[in-house]
A and B are shown apart, each in its own frame.
Chain A
Amino acid sequence: MNAPQKAKDLAPLPYRILDDEEKVRKAVAIIREKAAESRMFKLAMECCTKCGACINACHSYLGTEDPYNIPTKRADLVRSVYKQEIMPLSGVLGKVAGGIGVSAELLEKWFTYFYQCNQCRRCALVCPFGIDTAEVSIMVRQILAELGMVPRFTVGIVKNMANTGNNMGIAKPALLDSCEFLEEEMYEETGIKIRIPVDEEADIMYVPSSADFFVNTNTMIGVAKMYHAAGIKWTIPSEIIEAANFGLFFDEKVMKEHNRRLLDCAKKLKAKKIVQGECGHGWRAARMYTDGLNGPVDVEIRHIHEEAAYFIARGIIKVDPEKNGDIVYTYHDPCNLARAGDIIEEPRFILRHVVKNFVEMTPNREENFCCGAGSGLLMEEIMETRMKLGKVKAEQVKKTGADYVVAPCSICKAQLPLVFEYYNLPVEMSGLMDLVGKAIIL
């Protein structure tokens, strides 16, 4: 068992750390509430027939070989409580029907195993009843948060987001310095003055990942070159240079607050369109939950790959695949693009135009396996688990024989190089806009 370290101080989350007795009492109360209000939860708790379809669909189980990481078995950690507390015959049948009460020990088990689920939704894809165990995982992490059980790493990110509007904690002066530096880099390379406009009124508000201003700088450069070539006025909002919305993984209030910030910035900058950068789950949060949680939304929400595919298809930008060389590229579908956001064919269309050799990995598209860090499992202290969660991905990449993996999600970008090193795969990796930036004819 390898669990993330728990935060000792939850601020700015509106929760407090509870003692064991309080935790148990509150857990039961929340489960009763959820059972009353959520049809999804009832369905997940009551309909599973243990058919076993999810067992080998789950990279977490395949990589860790821990039975509690079988999606239905993981859900059983909660289902047993549900049966005890909610099902009509629970008082009579109890353990016979698989029901057990909540204990502090069980809650620790929840914390361990629901933080070994990447919320990738591959189990949902194969479940004949449509049970989405990722949703169960999201719900259980929400319960854990309300019991004061949140990873230290996650609280650190929420804190940075509250203070600066991004996960890394980049304040505006640093952002401006970084943009200026990247503009100089582009000028040195191309001889053209390509801008990265910050906080200017524009039709398009582009939301990068803050990691693009630390490690994935070529992703940002690719986007800047693209809008320059397309001749479109765009801007990035200093108050939210973060496509990632960690609230999706564990807390609805955090997700909603992020969305509010997003919409407020769009309004302030008079944007007609919010374009989300290369982030998997952030796309799901922005596209699927902004309207529902914060709506109605009167601004269009698009993904950068939709923009790039459109520009290429219409001839608005020109690209030369020669510029990305003879090497063989493969594409890793971020879970939340392929199984939760319908960004599947756009990246492939772009790739076929910007590189010469592209091979699919197997399986792919909505059947693709997670990188092993999805749902924000980027904590250093669970590195051993992370490498196990990345095992299936490493095997998939190895079978392609490709030299280069394109992975347009910052979580994947943080996880995959470590996985490749761990499994001795000599492959390179970057985002997709990076390659657009290299292939573009200016």
Chain B
Amino acid sequence: MPQIEIDGLVLNVDEDGFIEDPTIWNEEIAKALAKTEGVTELTEDHWKVVNYIRNYYLQYQIAPMIRKLCKDTGFSLKEIYELFPSGPAKGACKIAGLPKPTGCV
């Protein structure tokens, strides 16, 4: 199993760099994962998106529809891409500790 080390934090990740065990997620891990997705600092806006995705995942075991994510957080898709350059599915979901969304996406 691949491991990554960020600021002294060692994480077991899958081949795409998503944490292997979503249940170990915490804010420190989010901060570490953010660095792998080109997000140097998690601002309040970032947390709004990350926490929304995280809570949705805890309730439904899947990422929310992008459209719902935008509506419920008040960010446009463009703004989400500004916050997470690799996009909601890859960047934001990874930082929120979800498995990588798969399928035809």
Q: Is the interface of B mostly helix, strand, loop or mixed?
A: loop
* Total number of residue pairs linking A and B with CB closer than 8 Å: 74
Q: In the bound complex, what is the Cα–Cα distance between A214 and B25 (angstroms)?
A: 23
Per the 8 Å Cβ criterion, residues 67-96 of B in contact with A are 67-68, 71, 89-90
Determine how close the nearest CB of chain B comes to the CB of A256; give it in whole angstroms. Answer: 20
Determine how close the nearest CB of chain B comes to the CB of A282; give it in whole angstroms. Answer: 10
Does A171 contact B61, Cβ atoms closer than 8 Å?
A: yes
Q: How many residues from B make CB contacts under 8 Å with A?
A: 19
Q: Is the interface of A mostly helix, strand, loop or mixed?
A: helix
Does A217 contact B102, Cβ atoms closer than 8 Å?
A: no
Determine how close the nearest CB of chain A comes to the CB of B63; give it in whole angstroms. Answer: 7
B6 within 8 A of A: no
Q: Which of A178, A244, A380, A381 contacts B103 (CB 8 A)?
A: A244
Does B62 contact A169, Cβ atoms closer than 8 Å?
A: yes
Residues of B within 8 A of A178 (CB): 65, 68
Residues of A within 8 A of B62 (CB): 168-171, 174
Q: Which of B59, B63, B65, B104 contacts A244 (CB 8 A)?
A: B104
Does B104 contact A381, Cβ atoms closer than 8 Å?
A: no
Q: In the bound complex, what is the Cα–Cα distance between A152 and B18 (angstroms)?
A: 14
Does A167 contact B65, Cβ atoms closer than 8 Å?
A: no
A116 within 8 A of B: no
Does B101 contact A174, Cβ atoms closer than 8 Å?
A: no
Per the 8 Å Cβ criterion, residues 147-171 of A in contact with B are 152-153, 156-157, 160, 166-171
B105 within 8 A of A: yes
Q: Which of A156, A169, A213, A378 contacts B65 (CB 8 A)?
A: A213
Does B68 contact A157, Cβ atoms closer than 8 Å?
A: no
Per the 8 Å Cβ criterion, residues 289-317 of A in contact with B are none
Q: In the bound complex, what is the Cα–Cα distance between A381 and B90 (angstroms)?
A: 13
Q: Which residues of B contact A (CB under 8 A)?
A: 15-16, 59-63, 65-68, 71, 89-90, 101-105
List 15 extra interface pairs beyond A169-B61, A211-B104, A380-B90, CB under 8 A: A153-B102, A168-B105, A169-B102, A171-B60, A174-B60, A181-B71, A213-B65, A214-B66, A214-B101, A215-B105, A217-B66, A378-B105, A381-B15, A410-B104, A414-B104
Q: Which residues of A contact B (CB under 8 A)?
A: 5, 152-153, 156-157, 160, 166-171, 173-174, 177-178, 181, 185, 209-211, 213-215, 217, 244, 279, 378, 380-381, 410-411, 413-414
